[in-house]
Chain A
Amino acid sequence: MRLPTPDAERRHTAVLAAVVLLQAVAVLFFVGDAASDILHDGLGPETLFEGFIAFALSSGVAAGGWQLRRALETQRAQARALEVARGALAEVIEAQFSRWGLTPAERDVALFALKGLDVAEIAELRSAAAGTVRAQMARVYAKSGVSGRAQFAALFVEDLLG
């Protein structure tokens, strides 16, 4: 289980960049063609329209570029915030585990339990018997003074929510 990934946002910026790029190429082609028309036939009524279209296309490039930069900055800020929160939470958990005096094996099991794995999965990851893992988890609950897994996880969520 995961929160929605930023993949959609990445795709969004990639599409935005592609459109900006295509428009930039289109602007140059259009302006070049219009300029040679003017050189060839002089200014005419269509010059006004060509100027308008060139202006519209260039605004599209500029606005797209601006949007892209804003989106990239937002993405980066979110990634940084997530990184900080992750590190901070890890520190909180680490400190709490030490306070409860968990052994290294119990820390591992407790962490996997926090991450939402069930006994069978933890046993597989640690190449241990399910009974061993169950006993370790019981000791973790006892040391932390909670009745079960839900309460155990709630201890840290409570810390986060304040």
Chain B
Amino acid sequence: MPGPLDRMKAGLAARPAGGSVSPATGLALPPVWDPLIRLTHWSVAVAVLANGLFTKAGGALHVGLGWAVLALLVLRFGWGLLGPIEARFSAFPPAPRAALAHLHGLARRHPVREHPSHNPAGAMMVYALWGGLLVICLTGLWLTDARSPMQIAADQAAVLSGDWSALAQTAAAGETGASGEIKKAVKTVHELMANLILIFAAEHVAGVAVESRALGRNLVRPMLWQRRTKRGPEA
């Protein structure tokens, strides 16, 4: 932990010379994202990566993570209505035209301004990710006949212990006739959307990098922890 002298030194470095007394606050930085947003953000990110790349499709873990993502989405939507100002939908309404203008400005290296919540392009990315995640969750529910992860785990355990009747049931339920066709189509949507989400996520990361550069501050930090490092003695 830095002592008072260290803090004072840091403050001295940030201060203009000439004996000015004003605290070295400068422009007030926008606050970090609130803890609920940060936790849901990283939980969803981990779940998406795990389900997109590692877990076995249709397995209890895959379905469980999917259900968790659905719960986190619902929680975030509730927070978007009732949470603090910059978490609310009203702070970042979907505005495709403003988003394009923002991207255009970035491409031309116009100076960007700070936004209290997401910037317009970031907001569109948020809605795209949410929409994609909802589609994946709902098609996933359809594909599993909305069986809960607990049931799937129980079925898996039954099959492992030699009781194959659960397997026969699931086989009989799908794969044949018109419902089989629909199921196949839904499965395709589920998989396509999953790939799209991974592409969206990559674009999102690239967008954060570009915007961080344009703003001259690290936009990842407000999503990580609450310390502000750009401040003077009382940082």
Query: Within 8 Å of chain A (Cβ to Cβ): is B19?
Result: yes
Partner of B5, one of A29, A93, A106, A117: A117
Judge whether A125 and B8 touch: CB under 8 Å.
yes
Is B146 among interface residues, defined by CB-CB distance under 8 A? yes
Contact A125 B84 (CB under 8 A): no
User: At the interface, yes or no: A138 with Cβ under 8 Å from chain B?
Assistant: no
Interface contacts (Cβ under 8 Å), in number, total 117
Query: Could you tell me if A13 and B75 are in contact, using CB atoms closer than 8 angstroms?
Result: no
Q: Contacting A17 at CB < 8 Å: which of B36, B67, B82, B150?
A: B36
Q: How far is the CA of A91 from the CA of B25 in the complex (A)?
A: 14
A117 B4 Cβ-Cβ under 8 A: yes
Is B140 interfacial (CB-CB < 8 Å)? Answer: no
Task: Determine which of B8, B18, B25, B75 lies in contact with A21 in the assembled complex, contact meaning CB atoms within 8 Å.
Answer: B75
Q: Which of B27-35, B97-105, B157-165, B183-191 contacts A (4 or more CB under 8 A)?
A: B27-35
Chain B binding surface, main DSSP class: helix
CB closest chain-B residue, reference A14: B35
Are the C-beta atoms of A107 and B21 separated by less than 8 Å? yes
Task: Evaluate contact between A13 and B21: CB separation under 8 angstroms.
Answer: no
Q: Which residues of A contact B148 (CB under 8 A)?
A: 29, 32-33, 36
**What range describes how many residues of B lie at the interface?**
35 or more
Q: Complex: how many Å from CA A76 to CA B31?
A: 9
Q: Contact: B35 with A17, CB < 8 Å?
A: yes
How far, in angstroms, from A1 to B7 measured CA to CA in the complex? Answer: 11
| A121 and B21 contact, Cβ closer than 8 Å, known pairs A25-B68, A69-B84 | no
In the complex, what residue of chain A is closest to B64 when comparing beta carbons?
A29
Q: Is A93 in contact with B36, judged by CB distance below 8 angstroms?
A: no
How far is A80 from B67 in the complex, measured between Cα atoms in Å?
Answer: 39
7 contacts between A and B (CB under 8 A): A17-B36, A20-B75, A28-B74, A65-B83, A103-B19, A112-B8, A116-B4
The 7 lowest CB-CB distance pairs between A and B, nearest first, are A107-B19, A104-B19, A17-B35, A28-B71, A24-B75, A17-B36, A25-B71
**Interface residues of B, Cβ cutoff 8 Å to A:** 4-5, 8-9, 12, 18-23, 25, 28, 31, 34-36, 38-40, 43, 64, 67-68, 70-72, 74-75, 78-79, 82-84, 146-151, 226, 234
